[in-house]
Amino acid sequence: MKKFVAIALAAVMVLSLAACGGQQAAAKEAVAEAAVEAVAEEAYEEGAADVAEAVAEVVEEAAAAGKDEVNIGVLVWKYSDTYGSSVRVAMEKYAEEIGKELGVKVNLEMQDGNDDQATQNNQADVMFASGKDLIIINLCDTSAGQYLADLGQANGVPFFFYNKEPNDSSLVTNNDSIFIGTKPEEAGIMQGEILADLYKADPARVDRNGDGKVTFLEFEGEVNNAEAIARTEYSESTAIEQGVPLERLAENQVANWDTGKAQEMMVAQLAAIGAENIDVIFCNNDDMAIGVIAALNEQGYNLGDGGDRIVVIGVDATDTAIEYINAGKLYGTVKQDGDAMGKCNIYMAINGALGNGWLDGTDYKMADDGFSVRIPYAKITKE
């Protein structure tokens, strides 16, 4: 008799939880009813001793199903990054839009790590202990994700990574997590294709002194960053494979994705090499490309006046980069869609906070690696 009372009480508790879900009430009630039926069946099969545990599991699941408000934390590597800012703006926009669509109020709390992993770790200590339903992580240091993953496990808070992929994929796979980002080599391939297409159409525009060699510099975002490494490698290898006779002028310039740092390093390279000896500059992101162009402007290059131009190719398609392309200062870029990434982040965050499958109710597809959702790139040039 007692086990039937327990089942009846569980039914009342679960169904009352389900009733609070607003637009999703019918679906939640169906889930709750099915869960209670499962408890009853288990009671018959396993005996009354296991009913209490089974009821507790059902109540926990139903509580998640009945949520109509979720609290999401976002740890951002640095607010000043232009592309990253577009992702943040998109998350704020879609938190409201998608929340209304799904009948869930989404509360976002964001923290700026200011490109310092120690700062981000301190922020994570507080955020993981604060009762968040899920935390979205944009690592400052892609080799330093273990500490944050351990916090998630210790506090029982689900999390996922975006934009900057952890060097160790087990941080994702061992924690039932995901990564939302891009396919690392795709941006580099498209940069190489942009250059190859220009070289095939107008060799003199690229090989400015006509010596049969295309001299180049590469501005790399970060050491040990998978995205930076792939963009660097594939921009060069793709151009070469498609017939561009590249010749490196100096070692890669690691400017940490930063405009000011890139400008400083480009000034040094111009002093050492001379602008007249440089044909092409690949940059892992547009912020660095803008810094490179600022240094070139000081030498009278890439002013957008139809005068001397060095081919500069970036990644991200920031608003400033598009303005520079239209003005003839930047030759091309590869669009990394911050709006699309922000939207995907919010869909995944709501699902994770509610205990659903990451992709439930969405059109997103898991990549072949089985743990990531990859946002596609697109080539952008004026010519």
Distance CA 40, CA 4 (A): 8
Q: Among candidates 68, 67, 62, which has minimal Cα distance to 12? A: 62
Of all helices (H) and strands (E), which one includes residue 218?
Answer: strand 214-220
What tokens appear for 211 in the block? 């010596």
pLDDT value of residue 20: 40
Burial label for 12, CB within 10 Å (0-12, 13-18, 19+), is: exposed
Among 383, 382, 370, 367, which residue's Cα sits nearest to residue 186? Answer: 367
For 376, which DSSP code? P
Whether 213 contacts 240, CB under 8 Å: no
- Looking at residue 14, its pLDDT comes to 47
In the prediction, which pLDDT does 67 show?
Answer: 78
Side-chain-side CA neighbours of 259 within 13 Å: the count stands at 13
pLDDT of residue 6: 47
User: What's the confidence (pLDDT) of residue 34?
Assistant: 53
Q: What is the model's pLDDT at position 41?
A: 59
- The sign of the CA dihedral 236, 239, 240, 245 is negative
User: Distances from the Cα of 220 to the Cαs of 30, 81, 225, 274, 286, in angstroms?
Assistant: 53, 15, 10, 20, 11
Residue 25's pLDDT is: 41
Dihedral angle over CA of 338, 155, 122, 149, nearest 10: -60
Could you tell me if 132 and 154 are in contact, meaning their C-beta atoms sit under 8 angstroms apart? no
34-66 burial, b at 16+ Cβ within 10 Å, e below that, comes to ebbeebbebbeeeeeeebeebbeebbebbebbb
Count CB neighbours of 180 within 10 A. Answer: 26
With contact defined as beta carbons under 8 Å apart, do 218 and 236 qualify? yes
Q: Are 120 and 140 in contact (CB under 8 A)?
A: yes
Strand partners, 160: 136
**Can you list the alpha helix ranges (DSSP code H) found in the chain?**
2-18, 25-46, 51-65, 82-102, 117-128, 146-155, 170-173, 184-201, 203-206, 226-241, 259-273, 286-298, 319-327, 338-354
pLDDT tens digits, residue range 131-149? 999 999 999 999 999 999 9
- On whether the CB atoms of residues 134 and 104 are closer than 8 A, the answer is no
370-380 b/e (C-beta count within 10 Å ≥ 16 → b):
ebbbbbebebb
H or E element that contains 217 = strand 214-220
Contact (CB, 8 A) for 221 and 262: no
Q: State pLDDT tens for residues 323-382.
A: 999 999 999 999 999 999 999 999 999 999 999 999 999 999 999 999 999 999 999 999
Low-confidence ranges of the chain (pLDDT < 50): 1-29, 31-32, 44, 52, 54-59, 62-63
pLDDT in the model for residue 357: 97
